Structure 1
Amino acid sequence: MRLRLFLVLIPLAMLAACATPGGGYYSQGNQYHRPAYDGYARCQSCGVVEKIDRVYGERESSGGGAVLGGIIGGVLGNQVGSGSGRAAATAAGAIAGGIAGNNIERNNKSAPWYELYLRMDDGRRIVVTQRDLNGIREGAYIRISNGRAYLN
């Protein structure tokens, strides 16, 4: 009985050793991809980049940067001089800080960001928005972590 079981299990073990694991990568040019969705999710937070759009922000500011810059500039200007010179330095610091804060806010808002259109392993299609690509290209296999896409 044991010999018969042993003779059946040996060929089965040899066949199992020859099997290739499902879900492996395949190569297309110099990029590696996973096979198309077949009904089984391999990685809940992994997928392929289908398209990348570069989006430009607005050139306008809300005024928050100017207010914050004015406050900081006024506080720093108040540290300089004494008497009426201190008042002038406070006013000049507030004005200069307001201008600088407004420009910083406007430049930050106008910086481009990227919308990555992804096809996830479980079949979902999602869009992730982030400021930088960090080497991600169309066709790349990525992982989503904390709302950002990273090369996997």
Structure 2
Amino acid sequence: MKASRTFMAAILATSAILTGCASNSSQPYGGGYSSNSSSVSQGYGVIESIQVAQADNRTSGAGAILGGLVGAVAGSQIGSGGGRTAATVAGGVAGAAVGNRVESNRNAGGQEMYQINVRMDNGEYRAVTQDSAYDLRVGNRVRIVDGRVYRY
């Protein structure tokens, strides 16, 4: 019974630590243009430039959670009493750090993204970052719908 409470405490401590490691950034490149791709916007314009950018090397947190669990289990096998509790928590934290690093290394390089800079009909510039620029070329007449660029 006491071991399961210790194990649950280690899991809660690990998940609390990992919550601060999450990233919600969706813009891998910041350019010099205003970016309204996160809001629901529509409009027409002409593509001024297309730049290739590497997305952030983000992690989902699954590696850290799995590493934390494995570390907590391994730590709970060491010592007895208060020392076992400390080893369980330390094992969970160390396992989470190692698991996060392993996941980060697996995702090295990031996804290739395209920053499409558009001169809108009203004269403003917008930078839209998306995962594909398949049929888009500089000079194309385009429309922006819900933060994505489409040929018009």
Q: Fold-level match, TM-score > 0.5? A: no
Greater relative contact order structure (CA < 8 Å, 6+ sep): 2
TM interval, shorter chain, is: 0.3 to 0.5
TM-score by length of 1: 0.44
In terms of Rg, which structure is larger?
Answer: 1
